[in-house]
């Protein structure tokens, strides 16, 4: 019953479906490119064939005409040497030679009456030779052609006057020439058809492989639009893109763009999460101060204290927001850097001088190594910001009476800044998370700060194409090393 109820497609529906499939196939870029180049190749091949055929035809025709003229001159010379009988004997002798190419020979009188006639039997039946006796033979000039309704070739005739009494006509068929041209045409069609089919197959294969990156690019963009995720990448280390080329550059740049977009969006998400988390505390304090002021009796001092607390918490929130934005911009590659040549020792000394007062208040000594002639390309404002954060941490966590040693030196791959303190160090469990935003270890939770200093340092240094190393020991303190390139960093 199921088979009886099945609806079979009509021929028109099958044709419509086939046309849709064919249209879809022909709309593919690699198919259209292959058809375009194959068409150009075919046009070029046809043009080459036409020129070759024309040249071959002219060459063979000239050879036949030269052979006709040569035979005419031979017979004329024979007639001049021995008369009409000697000429007839020469013609008869040539007719019985094995392998001799057949010729038509006719000797006519001055009134165009046939005196001697030598022609292959097939030509005599196939060509209208009687028309040669029509008209005035004295008007003969050049090469004339006789066509046949029975034979697939023609007869070309040339003539020469032997004397006042006789006129000689010699003819040669185009059979050999036509056969050679037919063979040339047939072989060309076979070879060109095979080459076109092979070029189509190879063209489709090569175009499909070469344009694979474009299809991968389209699929990746479609996947991003569908999922909203930017973690997809287009492979470019194998296949037709293993060598340098425009498509490889396109894919590399596209992947780099996706990386930057993903980093930017990830930074925005992290920043929003951090802001939502860390604004809660200052906002709670701000609200608490305002509520206490409202609940207390009218007292100017209480109001002033509440406003002062509000301003302090607002400043804390502003610092938090600005620092988070700097970190996000640096990590996403959107941080604007004003690169210039900077004297490393001068920047280090200036930063240390800013924290001398804070260090003196705590009884900590800051020692600056004396190095000269060390320079690098960096943003001086951001570099001072990095050194200030590290010096602030070093002074903050140093023991009373301790010391902080700062120095810079040239290394193989750039310039290294070293900031070392003799504080309690960083525990092993805190080391993997020390660069995270808003993370504060056990030793730092009772110290003032936002927990963003090291995150900002790492982000700015990496924006300079540098890197940070941290070495810490609970007994000897902590040392932070910053390595920055001495030459302007190039874009990736």
244 and 321, same domain (yes or no) = no
Q: What is the DSSP string of 196-221?
A: HHHHHHHHHHHHHHHTHHHHHHHHHH
The predicted pLDDT at position 298 comes to: 64
The predicted pLDDT at position 491 comes to: 46
- Does residue 447 lie in a domain region? yes
265 and 308, same domain (yes or no) = no
Count CB atoms within 10 A of the CB of residue 203: 20
Please report, for the domain that includes residue 461, its CATH number: 3.30.565.10
- Does residue 194 lie in a domain region? no
272 and 348, same domain (yes or no) = no
The predicted pLDDT at position 107 comes to: 92
Name the residue range of residue 310's domain.
282-335
225 and 304, same domain (yes or no) = no
Please report, for the domain that includes residue 161, its CATH number: 3.30.450
- Does residue 78 lie in a domain region? yes
Alpha-carbon distances of 145 from 64, 131, 136, 164, rounded to whole Å: 13, 12, 17, 25
- Does residue 418 lie in a domain region? yes
Give me the tens of pLDDT residue by residue for the chain, a chain 492 residues long.
Answer: 445 555 566 766 666 666 666 666 666 666 777 777 778 878 888 888 889 889 998 999 999 999 999 999 999 999 999 899 898 998 888 888 777 889 999 999 888 888 888 998 888 888 998 888 887 887 788 888 999 888 999 999 999 998 889 999 999 999 989 999 999 989 988 988 888 888 878 877 777 777 777 777 778 887 877 887 777 777 766 554 445 467 777 778 888 888 878 777 776 676 677 666 666 767 777 777 777 777 776 677 777 777 787 787 777 677 667 766 776 666 666 677 888 898 888 888 888 888 888 888 888 888 887 677 788 888 888 899 889 888 988 888 888 888 899 988 888 878 999 999 888 887 777 777 776 665 555 555 455 555 677 888 888 888 888 989 888 887 778 889 999 988 765 544
299 and 404, same domain (yes or no) = no
- Does residue 201 lie in a domain region? no
How is residue 406 written in tokens?
A: 């700062």
- Does residue 366 lie in a domain region? yes
Number of domains in the chain: 4
The predicted pLDDT at position 157 comes to: 92
Per the CB < 8 A criterion, the answer to whether 245 and 303 are in contact is no
Residue whose C-alpha is closest to residue 414's, from 374, 382, 458: 374
How is residue 362 written in tokens?
A: 């705590």
SS3 415: strand
How is residue 324 written in tokens?
A: 């988070």
Give the end of a domain, one of 278, 298, 326. Answer: 278
How is residue 282 written in tokens?
A: 């200052």
Is residue 211 classed exposed, middle or buried when 0-12, 13-18 and 19+ CB atoms within 10 A define those classes?
middle
The predicted pLDDT at position 440 comes to: 58
Residue whose C-alpha is closest to residue 94's, from 109, 113, 74: 74
The predicted pLDDT at position 183 comes to: 92
The predicted pLDDT at position 492 comes to: 44
Tell me the C-alpha distance between 280 and 381, whole Å: 30
Q: What is the DSSP string of 144-169?
A: EEE--SSSSS-EEEEEEE-SSSEEEE
Count CB atoms within 10 A of the CB of residue 457: 24
- Does residue 172 lie in a domain region? yes
Give the end of a domain, one of 162, 179, 196. Answer: 179
- Does residue 54 lie in a domain region? no
């Amino acid at each position: 019953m199921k088979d009886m109820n099945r609806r079979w497609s009509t021929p028109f529906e099958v044709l419509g479906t086939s046309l849709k499939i064919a249209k879809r196939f022909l709309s593919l870029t690699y198919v259209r490119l292959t058809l375009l180049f194959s068409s150009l190749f075919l046009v070029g091949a046809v043009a080459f064939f036409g020129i070759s055929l024309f040249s071959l035809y002219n060459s063979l025709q000239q050879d036949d005409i030269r052979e006709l003229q040569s035979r005419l001159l031979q017979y004329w010379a024979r007639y001049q040497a021995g008369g009409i009988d000697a000429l007839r004997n020469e013609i008869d002798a040539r007719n019985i030679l094995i392998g001799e190419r057949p010729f038509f020979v006719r000797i006519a009188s001055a009134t165009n009456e046939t005196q001697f006639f030598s022609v292959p039997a097939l030509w005599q039946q196939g060509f209208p030779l009687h028309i040669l006796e029509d008209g005035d033979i004295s008007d003969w000039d050049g090469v004339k052609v006789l066509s046949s309704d029975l034979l697939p070739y023609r007869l070309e005739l040339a003539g020469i006057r032997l004397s006042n009494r006789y006129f000689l006509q010699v003819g040669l068929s185009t059979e050999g020439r036509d056969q050679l041209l037919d063979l040339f045409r047939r072989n060309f069609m076979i070879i060109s058809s095979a080459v076109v089919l092979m070029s189509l197959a190879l063209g489709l294969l090569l175009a499909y492989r070469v344009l694979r990156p474009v299809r991968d690019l389209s699929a990746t963009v479609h996947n991003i639009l569908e999922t909203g995720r930017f973690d997809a990448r287009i492979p470019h280390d194998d296949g037709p893109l293993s060598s340098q080329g425009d498509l490889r550059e396109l894919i590399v740049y596209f992947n780099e763009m996706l990386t930057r977009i993903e980093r930017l969006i990830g930074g925005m998400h992290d920043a929003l999460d951090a802001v939502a988390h860390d604004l809660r505390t200052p906002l709670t304090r701000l609200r608490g101060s305002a509520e206490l002021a409202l609940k207390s009796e009218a007292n100017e001092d209480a109001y002033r204290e509440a406003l002062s607390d509000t301003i302090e918490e607002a400043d804390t929130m502003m610092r938090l927001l600005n620092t988070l934005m700097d970190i996000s911009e640096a990590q996403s590659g959107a941080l604007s850097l004003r690169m210039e040549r900077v004297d490393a020792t001068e920047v280090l000394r200036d930063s240390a001088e800013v924290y001398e007062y804070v260090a003196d208040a705590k009884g900590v000594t800051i020692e600056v190594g004396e190095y000269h002639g060390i320079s690098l390309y960096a943003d001086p404002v951001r570099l001072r910001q990095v050194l200030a954060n590290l010096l602030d941490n070093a002074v903050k966590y140093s023991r009373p009476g301790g010391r902080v040693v700062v120095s810079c030196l040239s290394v193989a791959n750039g310039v290294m800044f070293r900031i070392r303190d003799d504080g309690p160090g960083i525990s092993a469990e805190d080391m993997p998370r020390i660069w995270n935003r808003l993370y504060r270890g056990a030793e730092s939770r009772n110290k003032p700060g936002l927990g963003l200093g090291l995150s900002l340092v790492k982000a700015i240094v990496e924006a300079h194409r540098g890197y940070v190393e941290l070495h810490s020991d609970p007994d000897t303190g902590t040392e932070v090393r910053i390595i920055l390139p001495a030459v302007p960093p190039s874009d990736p």
